[in-house]
Each structure stands twice: as structure tokens, then as C-alpha cells.
Amino acid sequence: MTRSLRLIALAFVFLLISTVALLPHSSSAGTARVDPAPSQRSFSFTYQVHVPSDPDMKTTHLWIPLPQNNTYQSVTGLKIESAVSHSEGHDPEYDNPFYVFTPTPAQAAAGYDVTLTFDATRREHKVDVDTPAAKNATVGPLPNDPLMKRYLEPDKLVPLNGTIAELAKEHTVGDTTPLEKARHIYEYVVATMRYDKSGTGWGHGDAIWACTSKRGNCTDFHSLFIGMMRSVGIPARFEIGFPLPDGKSEGDIPGYHCWAEFYLHGVGWIPVDASEAWKHPDKHNYFFGAHDDNRVFFTYGRDITLSSQQKGAPLNYFIYPYAEADGQPVKDLTTHFSFRDLPTAAD
């Protein structure tokens, strides 16, 4: 081979090597990061209620909430087992679905049982709060939805003036965007509150009690968060359901879990779970902008009047069964909640 041909061959090899070097590498170090697909969990859920006997055979009604379908939750196969006549209804403000049971005098006298079962798939709800759209989003204009106005108003135990307003103003001073305000309110709640169900006072979602006691359960965490958010003009809503234990495939569920969302124009609802962030510091950033799939959603809102048949005061929140006898709340209902994971398409 002549010297000229050797030079041409070397130049070609060099060009080939250079071209390959510029191609995307297959190794993890050179591959652009791809967020994993949202996780999901499929399960069967059982909600049981026992209404005790009423020897006086008073007029009795029982209401139980129903799980809801939305973008992040699909409910199928909902069944009711009960000898008592029932019908479906919706509360007039939040449109939460429920069943209302109306026993005969004989059934009320004897006591009765209700078992609700359903299958559901819960999907992770995650919003990237680091995008320019989220960082630069404004509050309004609000969607043409009457509930948006409600999500800027106080609840009975969540005032938007006084201490709550002062705290919100103090911890958002200098912020220029709703997302900055939301982040600083979230940081304040997680840093200041502690998850503590000892003694009394916790669990009512009393925002003043929460910011004074600086402790409580998920209801107290999110009442304080929602109150502070609304007081600075950011719509925020309360959601409640049940937790699904992580690392267990079946078992009993001792009680409810609640969480929150806030609204940004052009982005939508941003999920927040401040109490889970407190319990899992390694997921502190995750729970500002995400709800995992270890939950099942039932109802929105506070201060709920179910229907014209309800004679008592509005419900603080609606996740447990509620019954009245001659217009007075029945206090000794017993409940049992359980779940069992179902196989998913990936299994």
C-alpha cells in the first residue's frame, strides 16, 4: 500500500472512531435520565359497619361514603351486603357519593350489618414542581367551578384570619409566586408539627389547636397547611380515605388517612402529604408534589351536610359511617376495614 493510501485509510479510521464517540452511549452514565412510570397498586377493599339494636324502634338512617373514580383511582365491582333498604346519594356541596340505609322498625330494633366491598387500582399522582410552568404559574383565573371559590373559604375549624393568617404571611414574606408560598408553608408545617397521637385534642383538624400544640395526626397537619394556603389566596382542598400499608399484601386497616392538594393556574392540582413527609424524612421532597399509590380515596371537604334526611350538625369530615336515630347521632357504631392486594398486569 502506498503512503498516500495509508494516510487515506488512517484518516477514514479516525473519522469512524470520532463519529462513534459522538453517538449516545448505552451505559447509564451517558443515557438521559428517564423518570420511571407512575407506580400503581390494585387491591380489594372491605368496609364493614354494625349498627346496634334500638329497642325504641326510632326512625334511623345510616350513611356510608363510597370510593370515587378519578384520574388516579379506578373502582370496580362495588357491592353491598345488607338486608336493609338503601339508595345512593351525593352531598350537595362536594358531590361526594354515599349510600343511605333506612331500616324498618323491626330491623332498627334488632340491629343490622352492612358490608361494602370493591376492587380498585390506585395510581401514583406526581407533578413535577420544578418545571417553568409550575414555578411561574399564577393562581388565577380560576376554572369555572363553584367549588374553587369554596376552596378559598374557611372551614369551621380552619379559620383564615388571626393566627393562621399571621403565620402564613410571616412564612411567605418576599415570595413572588404561588409555588414559592406553597413550598414555604409546607416546609413550616413539616418542620414545626410532629406526628403525635398521645393525649387528647388531636384528630379534629382544628388548625388553631394544631399550630398551638404543634402536634397531631394527618388531619391536624393538613388543616394547618390548608388554612395557611387559603389565607394567602391559594385554593387548597382536603381529601380523605384510607392508607394501604406498604410492605403488606393484606390485613386490617386501623383508621383513615387524609392529605391535601393546592391549585395552580395552567398546571392543575398539586398533591401534598405533609404528615407522610414528617414520618418519612427521606421522602420530604417527594411528598411536595406527589401522592404515592398506598392509599384509597373516598371524599373531599369539611363541614359536610349529607342530605335533607340528616338532622344533626354538618360532619367535620366524612370517612366513617354516620347514623342518626330520631335526628340524634348514634355514637356506638362499630367498624372494621381490611384490604387484600390483587395481581397487576405486571405480576
- DSSP per residue over 139-173, as a string? S-SPPS-HHHHHTTS-BTTB-SSHHHHHHHHHHTT
How sure is the predictor about 344, in pLDDT bands with cuts at 50, 70 and 90?
confident
Query: CA nearest 321: which of 80, 58, 150, 76?
Result: 80
State the pLDDT at residue 141: 77
- Are 244 and 140 within one domain? yes
Mean pLDDT of the chain: 90
- Residue 119: CB atoms within 10 A of its CB come to 16
Residue 123: strand pairing partners: 40
Question: Do the Cβ atoms of 316 and 238 come closer than 8 Å?
Answer: no
130 has a pLDDT exceeding 60: yes
In a domain, 214, yes or no: yes
Determine the 3-state secondary structure of 183 from DSSP: helix
Determine the 3-state secondary structure of 276 from DSSP: helix
Q: Which of 1-5, 267-271, 320-324 has the lowest mean pLDDT?
A: 1-5
- Are 105 and 223 within one domain? no
Read off φ and ψ for residue 135, nearest 5 degrees. Answer: -65, -35
- Are 193 and 282 within one domain? yes
- Are 283 and 317 within one domain? no
In a domain, 5, yes or no: no
- Domain at 76, CATH number: 2.60.40.2250
Average pLDDT of 120-129? 98
In a domain, 225, yes or no: yes
- Domain at 132, CATH number: 3.10.620.30
- Are 111 and 242 within one domain? no
State the pLDDT at residue 347: 54
Alpha-carbon distances, residue 37 vs 120, 227, 266, 276, 321 (angstroms): 19, 33, 23, 22, 36
Q: Rounded CA gap, 25 and 32, in Å?
A: 10
What is the Cα 59 distance to its own chain's centre?
Answer: 35
What is the Cα 151 distance to its own chain's centre?
Answer: 15
pLDDT digit string, tens, across residues 145-165: 889 999 999 999 999 999 999
- Are 74 and 132 within one domain? no
State the pLDDT at residue 57: 73
In a domain, 105, yes or no: yes
Cell of 331: 355514637
What domain range includes position 129?
Answer: 125-292
Q: Rounded CA gap, 256 and 247, in Å?
A: 18
State the pLDDT at residue 28: 31
Q: Rounded CA gap, 26 and 317, in Å?
A: 52
In a domain, 282, yes or no: yes
- Are 281 and 322 within one domain? no
State the pLDDT at residue 26: 33
Cα three-residue angle 154-302-339, rounded to 5 degrees: 150
Query: What's the structural domain count of the chain?
Result: 2
pLDDT digit string, tens, across residues 305-329: 999 999 999 999 999 999 999 889 9
Name the pTM for this structure: 0.88
pLDDT digit string, tens, across residues 158-214: 999 999 999 999 999 999 999 999 999 999 999 999 999 999 999 999 999 999 999
Cell of 169: 404571611
Kindly provide the residue ranges of all beta strands, DSSP E only, lying in 214-342, ordered along the sequence: 236-243, 250-252, 257-264, 268-272, 290-291, 295-300, 322-325, 328-329, 334-341
- Are 143 and 270 within one domain? yes
- Are 87 and 211 within one domain? no
- Are 226 and 261 within one domain? yes
In a domain, 101, yes or no: yes
- Are 282 and 319 within one domain? no
- Are 183 and 326 within one domain? no
In a domain, 35, yes or no: no
Q: Rounded CA gap, 114 and 5, in Å?
A: 90
In a domain, 255, yes or no: yes
